[in-house]
Chains A and B, each alone.
Chain A
Amino acid sequence: MATRIVVDPVTRIEGHLRIEAEVKDGKIVDAYSAGTMVRGFEKILIGRDPRDAWAFAERVCGVCTTVHALASVRTVENALGITVPPNAELVRNLMFCAQYMQDHVVHFYHLHALDWVDVVSALKADPAKTSEIARSISSWPKTSPKYFGDVQARLAKFVESGQLGIFANGYWGHKAYKLPPEVNLLGAAHYIEALEWQKEIVKIHTIFGGKNPHPNYLVGGMPCALNIDEANALNAERLAQVGTLLDQAQQFVEQVYIPDLLAVASYYKDWAAIGGGLTNYLAYGDLPTNGYGDPSKFKFPRGAILNRDLGKVHEVDGRDPDQVQEHVAHSWYEYSGGDKQALHPWQGETNLKYTGPPPPYEHLDVDRKYSWLKAPRWKNHPMEVGPLARLLVAYASGSGEVKELVDGALKSLGVAVTALYSTLGRTAARGLETKLIARWAKEFYAQLLSNIKNGDTRMFDGSHWDPSTWPAEAKGVGMTEAPRGALAHWIVIKDRMIANYQLVVPTTWNASPRDSQGQMASYETALVGTPVESLEQPLELLRTIHSFDPCLACAVHLYDESGRHVHRVTFD
């Protein structure tokens, strides 16, 4: 008989996620993913000035900060027919890249690593051997035996104090931890280094957007004026700082993150056959090199893959009412036309309706409704989104750069391309794309300097800033790739105000409950088959869930004061 285990809260993620799983004979046979917090963003956005929307939307998530702001300004620009100047596009790309590098590194070391790295085991390591290993895999300078010895001593004092703080009650000593103590020590040392580094790379946001988290954006461009002859603007000093930060970031990614990722992965190759999940992948694509209006020139291409058929990339259109649709059959909402319906975001209809057990509760009623997340589907297919989807779509689209990188990594690990369809593959894909991003960021930076050199300092297109230039009604879609996957916002503007604003976000795609046809999404599918050796310590479950980098900040669907539906929105 299967046993039901519950993990709530799932930690080392953003937001509030609950997993209920049925375990039988040491493996998960069924799983349910539930978002347990909502805020009501969409209702709050109604009636506001569309030019303010980015600031509201950005607050959907402070971990993947900026990405909702980017999607939002694009959505409004799309609705109003605004094309931003090349420099604004480049600054947005640079902020995008900085976000990815920070977010992916933090995910690897601070959210995911403790699933693979046993910090307590690091106490038994020989620092000299750790030093040897470190030097064999990287040219990173901080690798002396003394350095690792100091880190180990620091950890030892910490553990001996009896106050384990953030490491308290971890699954230390679990049989599924496979790294030798020396590699665990390497991981622990880089946990600390990465914590210090991540606060540097975000300074790119601070320079262009004034702060991080939640830097400032602007509909029509970017607010940071360029003037290389002025102290109070983006001048040579500010730009030079960006350049230095990008150099340091690339160094960290290539000399610390990637070598660590490959070293850890080499001990966990069995995880290349676990947690594969769905066979469909969706990417909206991003990083324009010829303007947002030309997706064919995106660094990350747009497209969908079905049934893992890398020979065919399907076209994706956010405006097509038959493509992106949302279900509520197992979500705490109701549709006026019945919960079997699936609606495109522009026709979105929702009543927030909690029908779960009254808290405190032990279990959710998973046969009925069990999550605040809706269930988005693409042409009725559940889709995985995220780093793996992006890389696969790029790979299948024939990107030489991506193919070379992916094939190289597979070769170094001695695994086939099918290894990508797994918990390990997802985690590896995140690292690999970070390497690309670090490289691309420097291209964008060089292009920005080149534009300035050629006399182009424009950062804003004001042709439609004034609402008197707007049509009476306009609709827009803005797409981007958040670190966690495909993200899009939909807007309807009427009489200069937001009449409807909707977001369908990566973690909604991946973490959604079942749809009206009973189809499971990424988390639930990937969990099935994941081993759980100890019911009390479901470490393996966390590995698979964390490989998606959950970001649950919100799944919001709204109703008006009389209880009728007004609009709906989902968030990660």
Chain B
Amino acid sequence: MSDRPLTIWEQAQQKGYSRRDFLRFCSWLAAAAGIPTSAIGQVVRAMDSKPRPPIVWFHFQECTCCSESFLRSSHPLVADLLLDQISLDYTETLQAAAGKQAEESLQNTMKKYKGQYLMLVEGAVPLADGGIYCCIGGRTALDIVTEAAAGAKAIVCWGSCASNGCIQAANPNPTGATPIHQVISGTPIVNVPGCPPIGEVMAATIVYLLAFDHLPQLDQLGRPKAFYSRRVHDSCYRRPNYDAGLFVEAWDDENAKRGYCLYKMGCRGPVTYNDCGITRWNNGVSFPIQSGHGCIGCSEARFWDNGPFYRHLPSFPGFGIETTADKVGLAIGAITAAGIAAHAVLTNIRKHKLIQQEIEESEPPTASNEGGT
């Protein structure tokens, strides 16, 4: 093995791509990452000099939906990523090697590319009872993640499991499932939440790191701003219905058949920061709201405990809700409520009366999981 992996441009040459093809690819990359045309030169220079970056992908407490979502990426195609653009040296889902040989691959990469490899994590890490709830090769997930993080250039946390704990961390979190940023420090972390995240968003995050060799702009929760800076509600094509007070009142009713707003059916779009309304899913085919179901807020921390899903958001109970430590789960609801109130009032004064009505009809959130609405 050569100590210096081939650069992407060198590989493109070997594959018979012309310089023009290569430049076109760089332009595409720039477009995918939202880079202005004037910066394409920078992308080209980056790709000219970058070797195929070594990547290791871990699975802990998860369901592999993130891996599956990644495989669904249409741009770039995963086959192109795997064969031509990255070197995925460890991934339990796809790698040929198993057992000892798989662990060897991991160890080789961690040693040889110390400080250079990119670490991708799918899944939460269980901390209860000494970590026995997730072991791989006889070692605990915590042990593995700690070792690998120490030599990683950066960590990308795929999905809500790794970013915020997701379902196994839902009340009462029986195994002490914990997101990566709470067990690792000292290595830069990018959180790409969602259950799962959109495939193209995952691929674009990799492409960004690959092309520009620095972290994308992140928000205070460590999420790339390019994909998590807007509420689903604000990018929802059904939004005009909300503004006009046109709501689905019952599943499959006449309003559902007209594609009205799903807010009253429990849609979490107003409190969910994700890219679903813009990039949409599976190469832009649809997203949950377009297919008639409200957003369940799957990219938000603790969304599983912010239910029931079909009770509409604790709407507009006013500002300044006070909360106590034993009702931590309510904090989101409170922020939500304030956000919605502000948004609704500011954006549509005419709906004030309707909003008041909603306040009266809606129940305050409770810590228990009540059945029914």
Contacts and interface: CB of A to CB of B under 8 A. Distances in A.
A230 B259 contact: yes
Interface in B42-90: 52, 54, 59-69, 71-74, 77-79, 82-84, 86-89
Contacts of B373: 466-467
Nearest to B54: A163
Contacts of B98: 7, 9-12, 542
Report, nearest first, the 7 A-B pairs whose CB atoms are least far apart.
A232-B259, A62-B65, A496-B371, A40-B174, A467-B372, A170-B96, A210-B288
B256 interface: yes
B324 interface: no
A163 B259 contact: no
A490 B69 CA distance: 29
A460 B252 contact: yes
Given A165-B86, A553-B63, A11 B92 contact: yes
A15 interface: yes
Contacts of A192: 79, 83
A169 B285 contact: no
B6 interface: yes
A11 B308 contact: no
B45 to A, nearest CB: 21
A10 B138 contact: no
Contacts of A51: 308-310
A168 B89 contact: yes
A139 to B, nearest CB: 23
A7 B92 CA distance: 12
Given A199-B283, A467-B372, 9 more contacts: A10-B99, A52-B308, A62-B67, A119-B96, A165-B88, A225-B259, A233-B258, A233-B259, A358-B130
Most chain B CB inside 10 Å of its own CB: which residue of A7, A59, A170, A358 = A59
Contact of B59 (A16, A170, A232, A468): A16
From DSSP, what is the main secondary structure of chain B's interface residues?
Answer: loop
Interface of B: 1-2, 5-6, 11, 14-16, 52, 54, 59-69, 71-74, 77-79, 82-84, 86-89, 91-105, 108, 126, 129-140, 143, 166-168, 170-175, 177, 195-196, 198-199, 237-238, 250-252, 256-260, 276, 281-283, 285-293, 296, 298, 304, 307-310, 368-373
A166 interface: yes
B68 A213 contact: yes
Counting chain B CB atoms within 10 Å of each CB, which of A13, A119, A165, A459 scores highest?
A165
Contacts of A128: none
Contacts of B59: 15-16
B196 A62 contact: yes
A203 interface: yes
Contacts of B296: 55, 216
Interface string A19-59: 00000000000000000111111011001111110011001
Nearest to B133: A38
Interface string A494-524: 0111000000000000000000000000000
B207 to A, nearest CB: 17
A127 to B, nearest CB: 15
Interface string A177-204: 0000000000000001001101100110
Interface stretch (A359-367, A380-388, A423-431, A476-484): A359-367
Contacts of A497: 369-371
A203 B286 CA distance: 9
A167 B89 CA distance: 8
A462 B371 CA distance: 16
Contacts of A556: 174
Contact of A223 (B67, B69, B89, B293): B293
Contacts of A207: 285-286, 291
B104 to A, nearest CB: 6
Contacts of A361: 135, 138
Contacts of A241: 285
Contact of A210 (B73, B93, B286): B286
Given A16-B136, A198-B71, A47 B369 contact: yes
Contacts of A10: 98-99
Contact of B99 (A9, A198, A231): A9
A199 B73 contact: yes
A65 B68 contact: yes
A91 B154 CA distance: 42
Q: Which of B5, B82, B129, B291 is the most central at the interface, judged by chain A CB atoms within 10 Å of its CB?
A: B291
Contacts of B290: 210, 232
Size bracket of the A interface: 35 or more
B170 A44 contact: yes
Contact of B258 (A164, A232, A536): A232
Given A9-B99, A9-B136, A230 B104 contact: no
Contact of B172 (A43, A49, A230): A43
B71 A49 contact: no
Nearest to B296: A55
Interface of A: 6-16, 36-41, 43-44, 47-52, 55-56, 59-63, 65, 106, 110, 114, 119, 153-155, 157-158, 160-171, 192, 195-196, 198-199, 202-203, 205-216, 218, 220-227, 230-234, 241, 352, 354, 356, 358-362, 372, 457-460, 462, 465-468, 470, 493, 495-497, 536-538, 542, 553-554, 556, 558-559, 561
B174 A43 contact: yes
Contact of A161 (B5, B283, B304, B370): B5
25 contacts: A7-B98, A8-B136, A10-B98, A11-B97, A15-B64, A39-B175, A47-B369, A48-B307, A49-B307, A49-B369, A56-B304, A62-B67, A62-B196, A63-B68, A65-B65, A157-B11, A157-B15, A163-B52, A169-B102, A196-B77, A199-B282, A225-B292, A230-B257, A359-B143, A465-B250
A57 B130 CA distance: 27
Contacts of A210: 281, 286-293
A82 B6 CA distance: 61
Contacts of B140: 359-360
B258 A41 contact: no
Interface centre among B2, B77, B289, B370 (most CB of A within 10 A): B370
A233 B72 contact: no
Contacts of B132: 354, 356, 358-359
A36 B135 CA distance: 6
A466 B293 contact: no
B141 to A, nearest CB: 8
B371 A495 contact: yes
B71 to A, nearest CB: 7
Nearest to A232: B259
A7 B99 CA distance: 4
Contacts of A208: 291
Given A44-B171, A208-B291, A467-B372, A169 B105 contact: yes
Contacts of B60: 37
A309 B100 CA distance: 40
B144 to A, nearest CB: 10
